[in-house]
Amino acid sequence: MLIQDKKIAIIGGGPGGLTLARLLQLRGATVKVYERDRDRDVRVQGATLDLHHESGLAALRQAGLLDEFKKHYRPGAEHLRLVDQHATLVLDEHAEAQTATFGDPHFRPEIDRGPLRDLLLDSLQPGTVVWDSHFASMKPAGPGWEITFQNGTATTADIVVGADGANSKIRPFVTPVTPFYIGITVVEGALPDAAQHAPRICALLQGGKIFALGDEKTLIVSAKGDGGLAFYTGCKTPELWARDSGIDFKNAAQVQTWFRQEFVGWASLWDELFAADHAYFVPRPQYCFPPTQAWASQPNLTLLGDAAHLMPPYAGEGVNMAMLDALELSNCLADSQFSNAQAAIAAYEQSMRQRAATVAQETLAQTAALHSPGGLAHLVELFSGGEPTHELSC
């Protein structure tokens, strides 16, 4: 087996990196995950995620974690209400009979990011994740790599996998190709104690999701299992808008003022999202790697997830693609048909890039449609045509 007696370093402890670690450990590999967070509890995890039968759920099945997932997913959280900017109900999945379940390709169960991360962390051997390991630099060391972290520690590895997200520090060692700005900035928000601070929105949510579209803008709201909610505004801006706007995104009043100006004419209930002083906001300009990107495969280095194929979140594929990357990469590294690690990595990367190119093109088209004058009609047609509900996974 290609990974026998190999030290594998995964840079980044998100769902993709943790899934890969679990799958490789099941095959007897020596794996460490280097994560920049100080510990597992230092950061509030984001919104809910819907896992897909052919990708995220497939990875969990092979990882032996589907039963554990069933203990933590949130039945009904996938139900969508589609409204216009005035909160007028256009489509309501809560009113429809729900018969899909595990094993149905169209069933996309929801789970909060925190519980998903926890079940993956708890599945790993003790000491697998090395916390407070913020990547600083890397250089060749014999047939492998020497990796240095900002805390002054260092390690060596025979194979390195960059699972460190949109701003990957590992990617430049693989390819110089950079992402392009797609013209949309998302403002991500999180509101604890939603029943207290956003009662009208909670009543509209009914524990599920809201997609609100109008004026070439989007607002997506998701209920979380901890009583909070996560939301994302989307609108057209210059690339450096967040930097140049003068808005202090740690100041809820300033963000609310911006929202009222940018989303003028939208229903007053949306103001509830910005009314609490302890709400959390972060602007996220949206980028995408060219669908046609390619690079020469290496014998000891590869990428997965957003580090490999960053794209906007409007098709709900981000975490699912990362987990499918982990599944396919682990299978290739354990496949005896490959004579060496470079051949295995090359096979994985060819398949991954081809898959990502298709999804990126679809996602760019979806993003443009949602932020067009006909965005609401487009989404009504999409859901009325029987397409499964997608999630936004910034």
Residues annotated in the binding site for FAD, as ranges? 50, 113, 306
Bind-site residues: 43, 50, 113, 306
Q: If DSSP codes are grouped into helix, strand and coil, which group holds residue 102?
A: coil
CA terminus-to-terminus distance, the chain: 36
How far apart are the C-alpha atoms of 264 and 279, rounded to whole Å?
21
**Which amino acid, 68?**
E
Distances (CA, A) of 282 to 66, 117, 219, 248, 340: 32, 21, 15, 10, 43
Would you say 170 and 164 are in contact if contact means Cβ atoms under 8 Å apart?
A: yes
The three-state DSSP-derived secondary structure of 49-74 is: EECCCCCHHHHHHHCCCHHHHHHHCC
Containing 119, the helix (H) or strand (E) segment is helix 113-122
Pairing of the two strands 159-162 and 135-141: unpaired
Distance CA 256, CA 258 (A): 5
Bridge partners, residue 112, by sequence: 48
Amino acid 391: pLDDT: 43
Render the burial of 114-151: b for 16+ CB within 10 Å, e for the rest.
Answer: bbbbbbbbebbeeebbeeebebeebeeeeebbebebee
In this predicted structure, what is the pLDDT of residue 103? 80
| Amino acid (one-letter) located at 277 | D
DSSP assignment of 334-357 = T-TTSSSHHHHHHHHHHHHHHHHH
- Give the alpha-carbon dihedral of 68, 71, 77, 79, to 10 degrees: 80
CB 232 within 8 Å of CB 219: yes
Kindly give, in sequence order, each residue whose CB lies less than 8 Å from that of residue 70, ignoring residues fewer than 6 positions away: 102
Return the bridge partners of 210, or none.
81, 221
Query: What pLDDT score was predicted for residue 394?
Result: 35
pLDDT of residue 388: 45
**Residue 46, pLDDT score:** 65
Domain ranges for the chain, please list them: 7-74+113-178+290-371
Beta bridge partners of 209: 80, 222
Q: Which amino acid is at 81?
A: R
Question: What is the spatial distance between Cα 290 and Cα 356, in angstroms, rounded to a whole number?
Answer: 10
pLDDT lower than 70: segments of the chain: 44-46, 97, 386-394
Q: Provide φ and ψ at 128, rounded to 5°.
A: -65, -45
For helices 318-333 and 15-26, what crossing angle results, to 10°?
30
pTM: 0.94
For tokens 């992402």, the residue is: 179
Rounded to whole angstroms, the Cα distance separating 166 from 307 reads 5
What is the CB neighbour count within 10 angstroms for residue 264? Answer: 9
How far, in Å, CA of 31 to CA of 160, rounded? 10
Q: To which CATH superfamily is domain 7-74+113-178+290-371 assigned?
A: FAD/NAD(P)-binding domain (3.50.50.60)
Quick one: pLDDT at residue 390? 43
In tens, the pLDDT along 150-206 reads 999 999 999 999 999 999 999 999 999 999 999 999 999 999 999 999 999 999 999
Residue 44 is predicted with a pLDDT of: 60
User: What is the predicted pLDDT for the residue at 314?
Assistant: 81
Burial class (CB within 10 angstroms; exposed 0-12, middle 13-18, buried 19+) of 206: middle
In the annotated binding site for NADPH, the residues are 43
Nearest to 61 by CA among 28, 27, 23, 34: 23
pLDDT attached to residue 392: 41
